[in-house]
Amino acid sequence: MKRFSLKYTLLTYRLDQLWFPLAFWAFFVILTLLLSNEEQNFDIARGYIGVAVPLIGGIMAAYAILDDPAIELRFATPIRAAQILFERISLIFFIQAVSALAFIVFALLIGVDFYPLGDSLNLHLSWLVPTVVMIALGTFGAILGAQTMIGSFLVGLVWIIEIIIRDAMTFNNWKYAYIFMGILNPEHPDLVSNQIALFVTSAAFLFFTWLLLHRQERYI
C-alpha cells in the first residue's frame, strides 16, 4: 500500500474536483471571448488567474483529505502523514497550475497584455503565491476543525474579506497578510516582503496540518 498510495490517490480522486475548476476555466474563457475591450479582457484574465484560481484551489484542498470515503482504512495503513498530505495537495496544485498557465496562454493568444503585472516571474508569482496560501489555508482549516466544511468556509471568509477591504490591506502590518497584492497591487513597494511572508505562513499552515494529522482518531 505504501508503494502504490499515489495510484490509490488517482483512482479515488473525485471527478467533481476536476470538472469544477474546468467549468470555471471555460466560463472565464467564454466571458473573455464575448468582450472585445482590451482593458476588460486584462481585468478578467488577472481576476481569473490571481483571484479565482486561488479560491478554487482552497476549496478543493479543504475536501482533499477528509472527503476520502475510505479514510479509516487509509489511516490504518503504514503511510506517513506527510505522504498523505503531499499526495493530496500536490495533485490539487497541479490542476490549478495547469488551469492558470492554460489561461495565460489563451489570453496571450488573443492579445491580452500582462505588462502591468511586471515581468514573467512576477506574472507567475501573482497567481502562484495566493494559490499556495489558499490551498494551505483550506487544508489546515479542514484538519483543524475535523470537517471539510470548516476548511472551505475559512477559505471563503478570508477571500471575501480581503477582496472587500483590499485597499486597507496595503497599509501597516496588514500588507504582509494581503494575499492578492501581487495581482491587484503589483506596484506596491513591499511586494517582495509580502510574498515571502505569505510563503512562510503557508509553510506554517502545512506544518501544523502535518502535526494534526498524527492524531488520526479525530478524523475517523
How do residues 37-75 score in pLDDT, each as one tens digit?
A: 878 899 999 999 999 999 999 999 998 888 766 666 666
| C-alpha cell at position 15 | 471527478
Which helix (H) or strand (E) segment is 168 a member of? none
Q: For the chain, give every domain's residue range.
A: 5-219
Query: In b/e form, how buried is each residue of 91-114, taking b as 16+ CB within 10 angstroms?
Result: bbbebbbebbeebbebbeeeebeb
Torsion of CA 138, 84, 16, 59, to 10 degrees: 0
Residues in Cβ contact with 14 at an 8 Å cutoff, skipping those fewer than 6 apart: 63, 67
**Which is higher by pLDDT, 51 or 172?**
51
- Whose CA is closest to 98, among 22, 182, 32, 47? 22
Write down the mean pLDDT value for the chain. 87
pTM comes to 0.89
- Whether residue 82 contacts residue 47, with contact meaning beta carbons closer than 8 Å, is answered with no
In the predicted model, what is the mean pLDDT of residues 120-133? 96
Which helix (H) or strand (E) segment is 104 a member of? helix 81-109
In the predicted model, what is the mean pLDDT of residues 93-107? 95
- Whether residue 88 contacts residue 216, with contact meaning beta carbons closer than 8 Å, is answered with no
